[in-house]
Structure 1
Amino acid sequence: MTLPKIPRDPADDYSAAAIAARREYAEEQTGARLEHVSSYSLGPGTLPGNIENFVGVAQVPIGLAGPLLVDGEHARGEFVVPMATTEGTLVASYSRGMKLCRAAGGITTTVLDDRMQRAPVFSFASAREARDFKVWLDGRFDEIAAAAQTTTSTGRLLDIQTFAASKHLYTRFNYSTGDAAGQNLTGKATFAACAWIKQHYPGELHFLLEGQFATDKKTSVVNMLHTRGKRVVAEITLPAALVEEQMHVSTDKLYAARMKGQLGSIMSVTNNNGNHSANGITAVFIATGQDVANVAESSALYGFSELLPNGDLYASVTLPSLIVATYGGGTGLATQRECLELLGCYGSGGVLKLAEIIAATVLAGELSLGSAVVAEEWVQAHDDLGRNRP
């Protein structure tokens, strides 16, 4: 059977009539009822640019974790962190880690780098022509940056990295993007830059705007080494007695578990030697209107621990490709904006603060789950808090 087309209204596809027509279509064609999907408080008129064929909402429960104490350059003080998830124990576990870190004096956070890229590939008849183009390109940065700048008031081209292979030159156009995540911004700016290059280069060349070297929404070593989005570190020193008291495990056992996990991560060739950074990042992303597909990159993590001579434990996480925004995309929608406002991060000037809060949240979650595994409390916690079956 061939289904009829999904109803659309070219004049106003977000009107009550258009939405009702699609809901009726879905119910008639499938036999399902969309009672809860069709219940929402946001105004459909706010949705153009965020969703097509709108029919309703997916309601994800939001819990509060915290308070989280952060000593950052942009995030300072205590925060309650909204986390949208259907995984029982997740909010409780992150709250437990935050309690430990608060008692230890809080988590220090530092943003090391901030850049978003588009990665065109330029193709030539031979490797020598590709090499000659690189020399030409290196000498034209100011003109190329000016061409890119014509498309954006908030983005700025920082540099162009080049990587040669065969008769192709792969590039990474690196931008600062303000409070926007910047994938669309960089695409538009780089297209303008490439048009300028094609017009002014004296030889023949062909380009693809994206040569898959930005690895958009895919994890990669290149982004972990060179940064995509924000590169953020969260770190803390935990007193041995405090860890024993609150987490029921000794710091030397936590450190030994870290070393075993390090080896396991190497053997399995992961982008992450931590426990579950994707859990906290995804939950905060959904709550605050981030592009959730960016978790593929954003969850990459370098974890590091050190057992100090007095028995205290230094622990840190580095998120090398955390892609977040406090402006644009889904951040301005009703519930997402409210969650950003809970954190004091909505709008202009909030993105680095949000990045630091997320990094601190990740570290708290790593410590909590790591401790639960070592203390053999992990399975019981899921049995107690994570079972919701009909």
Structure 2
Amino acid sequence: MSQRKRIPRLKGNDYSEQAAQQRRSFIEEQTGTSLTNTRHYSLDPASLEGNTENFIGVVQMPLGVAGPYRINGEHAQGDFYIPMATTEGTLIASYSRGMRLVSESGGCTVTVVGEAMQRAPLFELASAREARALSQWLEENFAAIKAEAESTTRVGTLENIQSWVIANKLFTRFNYLTGDAAGQNMTGKATHKACQWVLSNFSGIQNFSLSGGIETDKKHSHMNLLHSRGKKVVAEAVIKKELLQSLMRAEPERMVRLRQRTIVGSLLAGSAYNGPHSANGIAAMFIATGQDEANVVESHAGIAFMDLTDNGDLYYSVTLPSIICASYGGGTGLATQRECLEMMGCYGEGKAHKLAEIIAATVLAGDLSLAAAVVSDEWVSSHDQLGRNRP
């Protein structure tokens, strides 16, 4: 252990080019790797405090843009150009193709139908009856608990507390609105303060944990499919039959037939999302806009639905119950990430719902494009033409 060499840090000046250079030289010496490209960046190292420790440089992620895309949301209205960071060839072209199809059919209608962010404390008592008593007590004293929680935050509000008695334990979910922040840290701090008050005012609690696991932070769960974590958003579009045939070489009837069959496959696999590929668009937008990329695992879950209208057009919707995104705080204020948000008019306070609508609309466009490529048997040929698997 005495031979381990610590990564250099400069006390009081660790977010500086001097400190970054010292660490780069150290890593080059220790690993024999030249950091020629990693050392080139335009951001100010001082801006990274609170985002990245032991900063040495950047990983340059290719950034493309898809669109224009007509979105008819309650917050996102108009034609948008969508920044997408990805190394997957064909991806942005496919999303742009889907955006054209939807836009020329009248656009994508998007609705935020719910939101919540949680922390899920666990209380252990002597018996199930005492756990039930605590559950009732939390309801009776909700106003006081809410006041304690909200004393730690400027924008967060505690909306309700769900609870489940299992054996002699009470599992809870403290559900918050968090404004334009994603809110995981906010709700953790608020819930900790509230629970300290609970521990001081309810006797008989033998064990306590700030997380009992059922908030499933950065993990997919059926709980969050039913009870939203983040923004619950529904995106819808009616695609005209003639446009689907002329632009995608696919027919509504064949699209619906494919969906009926892939639903069976999704059930067989236990998929978190029964549509083509929600994670692709979400991940590309999350990286571009400074979101916590690990939240893709929760945000991509959802339900896709497809049907024929009375006149033979195609109705398609995606319901994404857990889009965890922010327009303010976290990585959104970093230089290039902020530019990507500003490209869509989504940076700053009051813009998180708008961003969530754009993300859901983007998922819908990508789904339609990929499904049509499968139906028309162009999936492989498009990757051969634009992707890394060119012959």
Does structure 1 residue 246 correspond to structure 2 residue 247? yes
**Stretch deviating more after TM superposition (277-286 or 131-140):** 131-140
The residue that corresponds to 2:128 in the other structure is 127
CA RMSD of aligned residues (A): 1.1
1:218-367 correspondence runs (5 A):
218-367=219-368
Residues 300-319 of structure 1 deviation map (CA, whole Å, 9 limit, x = unaligned): 02000111232111100000
Note if contact 2:123-2:205 (Cα within 8 Å) is conserved in structure 1: no
SS at match of 1:153: coil
Alignment partner, residue 171 of structure 2: 170
State how far apart, in whole Å, the 2-side matches of 1:166 and 1:116 are: 26
Deviation sequence 1:12-46 (CA, Å, 0-9, x none): 11122211110001111111111111100000010
Aligned-partner Cα distance in 2 for 1:4–1:292: 30
Q: Distance in 1 between matches of 2:324 and 2:161?
A: 20
For structure 1, which runs of at least 5 residues remain unmatched after alignment?
A: none
CA distance in 2, matches of 1:388, 1:288: 28
* Contact preservation (8 Å) 2:235, 2:361: yes
Query: Residue 126 of structure 1: CA displacement?
Result: 1.3
Q: Percent identity?
A: 56
Q: Letter of the aligned partner of 1:258 in structure 2? A: R
User: What residue in structure 1 maps to residue 117 of structure 2?
Assistant: 116
Deviation sequence 1:223-248 (CA, Å, 0-9, x none):
11000000000001111111111100
Give the Cα–Cα distance (whole angstroms) in 1 for the partners of residues 336 and 47 of structure 2: 12
Q: Is the CA contact 2:383–2:389 (under 8 Å) kept in the aligned structure 1?
A: no
> How far apart in 1 are the matches of 2:188 and 2:384?
46
Q: Which residue identity lines up with residue 81 of structure 1 in the other structure?
A: I
Deviation (angstroms), 1:163: 1.2
Q: Distance in 2 between matches of 1:252 and 1:16?
A: 59
Stretches of structure 2 that go unaligned for 5 or more consecutive residues are none
Query: Residues 244-300 of structure 1: CA distance to partner in whole angstroms, max 9, x if unpaired?
Result: 111001110000001101111111111110111000000000000000000000000
How do residues 3-22 of structure 1 correspond to structure 2 at under 5 angstroms?
3-22=4-23
Matched, 1:373 2:374: yes
Is 1:198–1:205's contact at 8 Å kept on the other side of the alignment? no
State the SS of the aligned residue for 1:217. Answer: coil
- Taking the aligned partners of 1:208 and 1:114, their CA distance within structure 2 comes to 24
| Alpha-carbon separation, structure 1, partners of 2:167 and 2:26 | 52
Distance 1:79 1:3 in 2: 51
| 1:288–1:331 Cα contact (<8 Å) kept | yes
Q: Alpha-carbon deviations, 1:121-144, whole Å to 9, x = none?
A: 110111111111111111111000
Which stretches of structure 1, 4 residues or longer, exceed 4 Å deviation after superposition? none
- The letter of the residue matching 1:18 is A
Q: Which residue of 2 aligns with 1:91?
A: 92
TM-score by length of 2: 0.98
Displacement after TM superposition at 1:3 (Å)? 4.2
Partner of 1:157: 158
Deviation of the 1:388 alpha carbon: 7.0
Aligned AA (1:109): V
